[in-house]
Chains A and B, each alone.
Chain A
Amino acid sequence: MSRTLTVEGDINAVDTRVNLTAQGSVTAPSLVVPSGMTKIRSIYTTFAADNLADDGAVVLLVRLGGAAVMNGESVLVCGGLGGQLPQAGSDVAPSIGSPFKLEDLDIEVRASDTISISAEIAGVDPGDTTAAVTVVYA
């Protein structure tokens, strides 16, 4: 059996940790690890930027921590993006964020304690960025 938790948030500055605590219309999903779960089996992440800052070049870091995560916080590099401002008057292709899917993550957790999921972008600011993270407990 498995259970999921999805959280998302806006990241609007580089090198700034942002706690992901919302889930769209659900403003405060429970961050408590469900009963019977012993590990984070998988993680799925996605992110995209509006590329409205010139010379952006970043990687996305996702941090899994909190009282529920045993063996200390784990930090994962989950993707990268960057780009140029288009020439004035030109169209530009959208930048689509494909999901990063990692099975067999196997991070031990303790049920009934709280997990903390945060994200940040590191590098050169590409503009406003949105990130979403799903963890799958087992």
Chain B
Amino acid sequence: MSKVYRSREGTVTAVDTKTQLTTVGSETAPGPLLVPAGAKSLSAVLAAFGADCAVAADGAYLIRLEGPGLPEGPETIAIGASGSGVATGGCMNVPSERFPLDIPVTPANEILVFAECVGEDTGSITIGATLEFTV
């Protein structure tokens, strides 16, 4: 049994606004994120965020997964949060976290990946998610 990884990233700039993650760095149009052939499950999500700390505020960040690749329906995962007391001089550096899952998938179908900031508007937040498929 091996694993295959698919990633998307994007920048969230408003609170309570679902933002689709559609790029992979230098790949500006990678196309749909398809469940790999032979995949048995979505076994985990790896996620990270980088916030510019430009606002004295606090917020939390969600990853939403939707689309025909998920036969049981959409899923939402809380991946982290950040806050700053002042809008000048703050900085952050965090490693990804792995969120273990066991979600059925439909091979060759698309999964849409969204990110969202909730709570207060913390500025610009770049959020990335890697879907770990067990095949």
Which A residues have a C-beta under 8 Å from some C-beta of B?
14-17, 39, 45-49, 51, 55-61, 70-72, 74-87, 90, 92-93, 95-102, 104-108, 120-124, 126
A93 touching B91 in the complex, CB below 8 Å, given contacts A55-B124, A77-B128: yes
A14, A59, A106 pick with most chain B CB within 10 angstroms: A59
CA distance A60 to B19 in the complex (A): 19
Q: Which of A71, A78, A87, A108 contacts B48 (CB under 8 A)?
A: A78
Collect the chain B residues with CB atoms within 8 Å of residue A96's CB.
93
Q: Report Cα–Cα, A61/B3, bound state, in Å.
A: 17
**Is chain B's interface secondary structure helix, strand, loop, or mixed overall?**
strand
B52 touches A80 (CB 8 A): no
Nearest CB in chain B: distance from A115 CB, A: 15
Which residues 95-116 of B have a CB within 8 angstroms of A? 95-96, 98
Query: What residues of chain B lie closer than 8 Å to A78, measured between beta carbons?
Result: 46, 48, 95-96
Partner of B7, one of A77, A86, A107: A77
Contact residues on B (Cβ < 8 Å of other chain), bracket = 35 or more
What would be 8 A-B contacts, judged by CB atoms less than 8 Å apart?
A51-B91, A57-B123, A76-B5, A76-B7, A81-B50, A87-B88, A123-B126, A124-B52
Partner of B91, one of A71, A95, A106, A124: A95
A15 to B26, CA, bound (A): 4
Proximity bits, B32-76, A CB within 8 Å = 1, else 0: 000010000000001111111110000000000000000000000
Q: How far is the CA of A123 from the CA of B25 in the complex (A)?
A: 8
Given the known inter-chain contacts A59-B9, A82-B126, A84-B89, please indicate yes or no for A126 contacting B50, CB distance below 8 A.
yes
Q: A78-B96, A105-B3 are in contact. Are A85 and B50 (CB under 8 A)?
A: no
**Complex contacts, B98 vs chain A, CB 8 Å:** 102
Contact B135 A71 (CB under 8 A): yes
Chain B residues with CB under 8 Å of A83's CB are: 52-53, 89-92
B29 contacts chain A at the CB level, 8 A cutoff: no
Please name the residue on chain B nearest to A55 by beta carbon. Answer: B52
Q: Are A123 and B91 in contact (CB under 8 A)?
A: no
**B89, A61: Cβ atoms closer than 8 Å:** no
- Assess the B88–A57 pair: CB atoms within 8 A: no
- Minimum Cβ distance to chain B for residue A103 (Å): 9
Chain B window 2-38, contacts with chain A (Cβ cutoff 8 Å), 1 for yes, 0 for no: 1111110101000000000001111010000000100
A75 lies within 8 A of B6 (CB) = yes
User: Chain A residue with minimal CB distance to B37?
Assistant: A71
